[in-house]
Amino acid sequence: MNDVQNSHDPRKIPLDEAGVKDLQYPITILDRENEKQQTVATISMSVALPHHFKGTHMSRFVEVLSRHSCEFTGHTIPEILEELKKVLDSESASMEISFPYFLERKAPVTDTSAKMSYQCRFSGRTDPDGTDFVLSVTVPVSSLCPCSKEISRYGAHNQRGYITIDVRSRPDESGSPAIVWIEELIEIAESSASSPVYAVLKRPDERYVTEQAYDNPVFVEDMVRNTAEKLMKDERVTWFQVTAENHESIHNHNAYARVEWFREPFRIRHQQK
């Protein structure tokens, strides 16, 4: 049968990316407490398409994916990307894996237990300049407004917000990025807000969380700075971006703040990505 994708294209226009998007796929990832966790991911994969090829082979993306036992870490993703480049005859390959990560969380007073989900993402790329890997975690939190507390005779407005942490880590002895646990980033984000949020709260828990938030008022800017301060102290981290967004309870808009940071001597390499 004719291989139409490999046929010559006369327009001489290379494409930055060509591939598959929004593929639903079962995956296994590392879990700090239980070693491994199974979840379902949304996966996108692409390669750079040279100008002389009419198209890429979409089925080969899934074939490469299936050969890696559905296990994904900062160590295995570079292997998948290298295989994509080889199989599809390309200089660069990218993949993004978005998935819910589940943790058993206990209420602060009654210890009532329930699963909480956190949205996570692995982003990998390999090209002639090297290999890049970014871990992203979005954490729901609660924040109480310092200004509202200061000017009000009683009470203060609060809201649910989201802190998103994107990190790169320094290479380990094998050349793969050092492991930064998803749980670690969740703990950093929650400790940077007024209070964590929970799946289940009984009345004693609700009272505790309400008072905890009231005793720890933070602006959206505070949440970003608190998170950044903690990440700067972690020698594994070479770059991060922290974004916080509050779904304001008394305004018809959201509040937002962001910071990006590089650790020397990794600045130049990260800026080229």
CATH of the domain at 79: 3.10.270.10
pLDDT of residue 54: 64
pLDDT of residue 138: 98
Task: Give the pLDDT confidence of 226-238 residue by residue, as tens digits.
Answer: 999 999 999 999 9
197 domain residue, yes or no: yes
C-alpha 26/C-alpha 221 separation (Å) is 37
46 domain residue, yes or no: yes
5 domain residue, yes or no: no
Query: What average pLDDT does the structure give for the chain?
Result: 90
pLDDT of residue 41: 95
In 3D space, the residue among 33, 30, 78 whose CA is nearest the CA of residue 174 turns out to be 78
pLDDT of residue 51: 62
C-alpha 55/C-alpha 32 separation (Å) is 41
Number of domains making up the chain: 1
C-alpha 123/C-alpha 42 separation (Å) is 12
Backbone dihedral angles phi then psi of residue 156, each to the nearest 5 degrees: -165, 145
pLDDT of residue 73: 75
Residue span of the structural domain in which 186 resides: 15-271
Angle ∠(157,107,222) on CA atoms, nearest 5: 40
1 domain residue, yes or no: no
pLDDT of residue 6: 57
pLDDT of residue 106: 96
Task: Give the pLDDT confidence of 103-148 residue by residue, as tens digits.
Answer: 999 999 999 999 999 999 999 999 998 999 999 999 999 999 999 9
236 domain residue, yes or no: yes
pLDDT of residue 55: 60
Task: Give the pLDDT confidence of 148-207 residue by residue, as tens digits.
Answer: 999 999 999 999 999 999 999 998 877 778 899 999 999 999 999 999 999 999 999 999
pLDDT of residue 231: 98
2 domain residue, yes or no: no
Residue 53, pLDDT > 80, answer no
Residue 84, pLDDT > 80, answer yes
pLDDT of residue 89: 87
Q: How confident is the model at residue 57 (pLDDT cuts 50, 70, 90)?
A: confident
237 domain residue, yes or no: yes
Position 86, amino acid: K
* CA dihedral over 200, 206, 210, 213, signed as positive or negative: negative
21 domain residue, yes or no: yes
